Amino acid sequence: MVRYLGKKKTAKTTNVSIYTKTDYKNDQDRFDKSMKDGKLDLSSFQRLMINDICKHTSVIENGCIGDISMRDIEMALKHPKQHWKILLLLSDTLMRISPHYLRMNTLYSNMALFCWGLDLYDVKENVQIDKAKKTYSALAAKLESMNLKHEFSKIMKIIPYQDIYCGLTFENQSDFFIQQIDYKICELYGIQDGLYNFKIDLTQISATNLSAYPDYVQRAYIDYMEGIKQGISKSQWYSPPADKQICLKLNSQWTYPYPILIGLIKDILDLDVYKKLKLQSARTDNYKAIAVEVPIDENTVDKPLLTPETLGIFAEINRESMTDDIGLLHTLGSNATPISFKDSNNTRNNVSDSVDEIYNSAGISKELYNGSSSGTAVTFSIENDSGFVYGLYRQFERWMNRFIKIRKYNKPTFKFSFYLLDITIFNRKDVTNRYKESLAIGTTVIDKYLAALDMTPSRTLGSYITHEIIFDFKNHFIPLQSAFNSSIDSSNNGRPTNESKGETLDKAGEKTKDLDSNIDR
């Protein structure tokens, strides 16, 4: 645990306490609670992340974070286009050494819900309804078998800290999954349907790991190696088919990877400089010097009564009983007084200032994290962060629509459009209520409302067949009547009368009946 302010004495060393175990536990509890509430406490998160950096790296001792030197990091930050591999390695290192850096990145990953559906568009007048229904059902079943929510969630766990995801699809009649390909062996070469396409350097694939790649990559690798043996010149770059590759990029404006939070690194490095200064300041503030009077001969000017050898022996004895932050000054004829080096004028906390600067550079509103009293500020801060997720939703949509087009599900008389609702874990209730209210005024958004409830098209069709056709739940599962689900017949209000039960009325009852005195007027 890194320590700060306050002095701990040992026989030989003095440590400056920066972050106590109690502080850590309190921050961890507050941060965990805020994560559950959806209103993150960045003031706690800041200290937790900085604690991880200072605890698990040796940047102060040897100028390295993991195996990456500060010089290389600074060079990569200045020239990311040429040295993006260092940035990816650094981000991956921070994911492993800092659990809170990991949680910060997974915050974006876990926000995505991937509530999806299918729209029908460009419907011509001569469309065959039965054919459209059959094709819709087949496409919905295909997308259902692809387990899109799970596959997309795997991709989302990579993108925030790597910025780019390159993957290849494994597919047969019953299974489908996407496997990540290390971007270090890939290269972007073109754009198709608004998405990047990549090619793979076959020379970077190890023969022992070849079975981990799809069969079409294995065939390309074998053809390339056989061509080399036969002296046939072939390109080492293989471009997978467009419908079997997926390439998504968070910062799509750059062709090189630049993780979303990598900009924090510069401020983390500045923090260590601040921390050095603060530690040095704390040591200086805690340092004490004791002036020891050396007796002198009163009859001779400045003549000590003890020899330097004798003074050295006593000084060494005294040093054994004192810590390193206490010094001895031997003076002739002066009283022994303690001397403090503390500067009471410097009240700034440079470490705290540098922590604030980190999240200013991250572009994350502190209103979202530090328990702001403004609910509006929290709401807009959440939506601002959700914008990153919505931008990736659009890329997922374009990839799926390209898949639908290449697989020829679109027909001349109708076409399909895959969509993802702009919904996250923070606004799920609001989005669901918005579609519910739209349904109440007659708009045709029933599919969007069902998608917000996590009902996919294929499951919706299956639910309809199960409930309406096979088991007829509507007519067989009839709830018990109550004031909430039964209509009121005004002619049968009140308890049963004696006349309805076939009983004779007494004189008072006959009089009441004749006068209608029980009826409110």
Question: What's the confidence (pLDDT) of residue 484?
Answer: 63
Report whether pLDDT(406) > 90: yes
User: What confidence tens digit (pLDDT) does each residue in 157-171 have?
Assistant: 999 999 999 999 998
Rank 135-144, 320-329, 349-358, 466-475 by mean pLDDT and report only the highest.
135-144
Q: How many domains does the chain have?
A: 2
Question: What's the confidence (pLDDT) of residue 468?
Answer: 85
Lowest mean pLDDT among 109-113, 392-396, 472-476, 509-513: 509-513
Which residue stretches of 84-214 are H helix?
84-97, 99-111, 129-145, 148-162
354: CB partners within 8 A, 6+ apart: 267, 270, 271, 274, 275
- Compute the distance between CA of residue 496 and CA of residue 498 in angstroms, rounded to an integer: 7
Rank 164-168, 250-254, 502-506 by mean pLDDT and report only the highest.
164-168
Residue 509 forms part of a structural domain:
no
User: What confidence tens digit (pLDDT) does each residue in 20-47 have?
Assistant: 778 778 888 887 776 666 555 656 666 6
DSSP H/E element including 189: strand 186-192
pLDDT band at 173 (very low <50, low <70, confident <90, very high): confident
183: CB partners within 8 A, 6+ apart: 88, 162, 164, 166, 257
Backbone φ and ψ for 388, nearest 5 degrees, come out as -60, -40
> 16 forms bridges with which residues in the sheet?
7
Question: What's the confidence (pLDDT) of residue 16?
Answer: 42
Tokens 């040095």 correspond to 280
Backbone φ and ψ for 179, nearest 5 degrees, come out as -110, 130
- Compute the distance between CA of residue 4 and CA of residue 24 in angstroms, rounded to an integer: 12
Residue 194 forms part of a structural domain:
no
Rank 136-140, 233-237, 478-482, 483-487 by mean pLDDT and report only the highest.
136-140
Question: What's the confidence (pLDDT) of residue 398?
Answer: 95
Residue 231 forms part of a structural domain:
no
Question: What's the confidence (pLDDT) of residue 384?
Answer: 66
Question: What's the confidence (pLDDT) of residue 508?
Answer: 72
Domain with 97, as residue range(s), is 7-112
Question: What's the confidence (pLDDT) of residue 287?
Answer: 59
Residue 85 forms part of a structural domain:
yes
User: What confidence tens digit (pLDDT) does each residue in 314-363 have?
Assistant: 777 777 777 666 766 666 665 555 555 555 555 554 445 544 554 455 44
Residue 54 forms part of a structural domain:
yes
Q: Are 395 and 247 in contact (CB under 8 A)?
A: no
Question: What's the confidence (pLDDT) of residue 1?
Answer: 37
Residue 41 forms part of a structural domain:
yes
Q: Are 188 and 255 in contact (CB under 8 A)?
A: yes
Residue 301 forms part of a structural domain:
yes
In the 8-state DSSP scheme, what is residue 211? G
Residue 246 forms part of a structural domain:
no
Domain boundary among 67, 89, 112: 112
**Residue 182, SS3 per DSSP:** coil
Domain boundary among 73, 96, 112: 112
Distance from chain centroid for Cα 408: 36
Higher pLDDT, 318 or 259: 259
Domain boundary among 340, 365, 384: 340
DSSP annotation string for 342-401: --TT----HHHHHHHHHHHHHT--HHHHTT-S-HHHHHHHHHHHHHHHHHHHHHHHHHHH
> 237 forms bridges with which residues in the sheet?
201
% helix, strand, coil for the chain, step of 5: 50, 15, 35
* Angle CA 361–365–367, to nearest 5: 145
Higher pLDDT, 145 or 489: 145
